Structure formats: C-alpha cells, structure tokens
Amino acid sequence: MIKNKALFLLVIIIMIIQALLINDFETLYSSLPFLDGVPITSSYALENKFLVYWILPIVAMSFYFTGYCRDALETYGKIIIIRNYGRTRWLYKRYLSMMIVSFIFVVIQALIFKFLLTDSNINLKVIDITKLLFIYFLTLSTLISLQLTMELFISPQASQLIVNAYVVISIILAKQMYVFGAGGFIYYLLLPNYAMGFKNGLTSIPEFQTPVISYLIGITILISILVFVLFIASKKIKKMDIF
C-alpha cells in the first residue's frame, strides 16, 4: 500500500514543517488551521503566506502519488493482472489504496497539528472538525484521482504539474472572482477551495470567512467527479496495450 517509505516520511516531515510555520503565524486560526485554508484578504502578502503554508503538504502528497498507477502498471502491475485480476479490478484496488493512504495522511496531519500547535484562537466544534476533515480528505482524493487518471493519457510528471498548477490557479482565481463580485456556480469549478473552512463556511472566523461553497453541494460534486474519473480510467485501461 505504501509504495515508497522514504517519500511517505518526506510527506510527514513537510507536514511537521507546515505545523511549525503556522504555529509562529501571528494571525487568527482554528485548532486545525490546515482545514481553514487560504482566506480572501486585502493583504496580498498575508494571503500568499497562507497559500504557501497550506499548499506544502498538497504538493508533497501529489509528488508521493506520481506514477502510482502508471508506473505500477508498467512494472509489477502486469504480473498481478495476469495472475489474479482483470485490468478493471486491479485499477479499482489501486484507487482504493490511494484513498486509504490519503486518509492516513490526513489523520497524521491532524495529529501533528494537535500535538505541535501550542495556541489556537478559535476552537471548532467536534461536528465541524469532522465535516472539515471529511471534505478535506474527499478533495484530496478527487485531485489525486484526477492526477492518476491523467497518467493513463500523459506522463506522470506532466499530470502532477497540471494538478499542482490547477490548485494554485484555483485559489488565486477564487480571490479575483470574489473581489470583482463574481458569484454562482463558477466557484464550484475550483475544487481546491472546497477543502477550506474559510470558503465552505465551517471555520467561524468573521475576519476571514468568505463562504462561496455550499458544503453539501461540494460533497455531492466531489463524489460525482470521483465516480466519473474512475469510469474514464476503467475505460482507458481496457484499451491500453500493457503487454
């Protein structure tokens, strides 16, 4: 399940760095600030700082999962498919494995902040923390699923680059859209914002709260995308010449 222990450890180290950086951050944040996300503020310096801190583990996890399907398919995956599974079943198990590892990363990230964060300004309710953790995990799984599916069409490195660029652009676009008064469904095209308490309304910090995403609509869209992406991947792998 854990394909590379060194990379797995690297992701955890980056999470620790994130927690230490945020711990010295002299601004408002909740008990699990990685769930708050990037606020929309009048200060570009402050916003960029939030962006860099928030995105660090996202990039690390994206790097960890680079080639998770494509590289495996071109090596030992062929043997497993021949001996035990059909292509589709192997692919489903691979995506499930990705989601399990992603869940482990999210739990570890939460524990790191629990133990390393010495002072938080806002204590969230247990139900809100649970909802934030779920949509954060679901957003990560969706973004990584998009990356793994693109790997079946283009190189793993290009897929990783596209996904990370999409994450950054989505956060920047959300700010610009909000400033210019844009609204409506267009925000739902910017998936990374789903995972942010500042944007989905679950982080109760009035100074930074700009709810542009409905939690329930966001959950529904993310699950729909996951199912659709898995459908596309299963169609593609049936047509690939892997032997």
Report the predicted TM-score, pTM, of the whole model to 2 decimal places: 0.91
Q: How far apart are CA 87 and CA 107, in angstroms?
A: 31
Quick check: 167 and 55 in contact, CB under 8 A? Answer: yes
CA distances from 161 to 26, 144, 192, 230 (A): 32, 12, 15, 20
pLDDT digits (tens, 9 = 90+) for 182-233: 777 889 999 999 999 888 888 777 666 778 899 999 999 999 999 999 999 9
- Angstrom distances, CA of residue 28 to CA of 25, 104, 130, 203, 204: 8, 27, 20, 11, 11
- Of all residues in the chain, the percent with pLDDT exceeding 90 is 50
* 155 SS3 class: coil
10 Å Cβ neighbour count for 191?
Answer: 20
Q: Distance (Å, rounded) from C-alpha 137 to C-alpha 9? A: 19
243: pLDDT strictly greater than 60: no
Q: In sequence order, what E strands does 93-222 have?
A: none
- In this structure, are residues 188 and 224 in contact, taking their beta carbons and an 8 Å threshold? no
- Chain segment 91-133, per-residue pLDDT in tens: 888 899 999 999 999 999 999 988 887 665 556 678 888 999 9
Give the domain ranges of the chain.
5-239
Main-chain phi, psi angles of 30, to 5 degrees: -90, -175
Do residues 119 and 25 lie in contact, with contact meaning Cβ atoms separated by under 8 Å?
Answer: no
| Torsion angle (degrees, nearest 10) of CA 188, 68, 9, 57 | -20
- Diameter of the chain by CA atoms? 59
Residue 242: strand, helix, or coil: coil
CA-CA-CA-CA torsion sign (132, 231, 188, 150): positive
The chain-wide mean pLDDT, for the chain, equals 85
